[in-house]
Each structure stands twice: as C-alpha cells, then as structure tokens.
C-alpha cells in the first residue's frame, strides 16, 4: 500500500514490486508523526512547550500500550480534553496520575 501511495520507493521487475532495506529506513526517517504534525483550527494540536501530550506520547512515556491509556481515560482515572478528534493530556495531569498510581501500588504491596 505504501508503494502504491508513492510513500515507499520500489522497482518493478517481471510484474512484481521490490524494495530494499535502505528505502524502508528512508521511509521511516521521513514519515510524519501525528504527534508532532497534527493540526486543528490552523494550530498544532500537541504543543509540548505547553505540556500538551497525545495518547501515544503518554503510552510511550509510561511504557504501556495505547489501549491502557484509553482505558484510564474512559474510566476517568486520567483526565484529558479534546481538540477536534484528539485527546490532549496535560503534563501536570500525567504527573498527578503517576503519583496516585504509585501510591495505590505501594498500598496494595504493603497490604499483601
């Protein structure tokens, strides 16, 4: 699909498309990240200078999958606000969430 969209270089030989590792690495280096390039109402959605993070940024920082973060958002344990279709999580909210989760995990470990 990436080749058909002309996002990934390839050559056609005997009716089959072929690519190489160099071109795949080049694609990964040059692809646009939604975290850093998303636009809503003409402005960037996630401004890290203001402490605005995406779901995938938070998941990467905590070392968990996106589904874990979406679960925390759905249950209200982690707060966010919306910019269009995107969930925006503030750095201060993430720090609060981490401190509460750490306290809860310590309480569970001490009571076990």
- Residue 8 banded pLDDT, cuts 50, 70, 90: confident
Helix intervals (H) in the chain: 21-30, 34-37, 55-62, 66-75, 91-111
Q: pLDDT tens for residues 68-90?
A: 999 999 999 999 999 888 899 99
8 A C-beta contact, residue 89 and residue 55: yes
Band of pLDDT at residue 7, cut at 50, 70 and 90:
confident
For the chain, percent of residues with pLDDT exceeding 90: 35
Q: Which domains does the chain have, with CATH numbers?
A: 1-31 (no CATH), 34-111 (1.10.1660)
């Amino acid at each position: 699909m990436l080749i058909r969209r002309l996002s990934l270089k390839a050559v056609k030989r005997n009716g089959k498309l072929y690519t190489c590792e160099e071109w795949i690495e080049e694609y990964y280096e040059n692809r646009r990240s939604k975290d850093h390039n998303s636009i809503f109402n003409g402005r960037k959605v996630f401004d890290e200078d203001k402490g605005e993070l995406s779901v995938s940024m938070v998941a990467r920082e905590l070392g968990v999958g996106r589904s874990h973060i979406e679960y925390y958002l759905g249950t209200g344990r982690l707060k966010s606000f919306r910019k269009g279709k995107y969930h925006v999580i503030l750095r201060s909210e993430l720090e609060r969430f981490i401190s509460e989760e750490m306290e809860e995990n310590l309480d569970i470990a001490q009571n076990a």
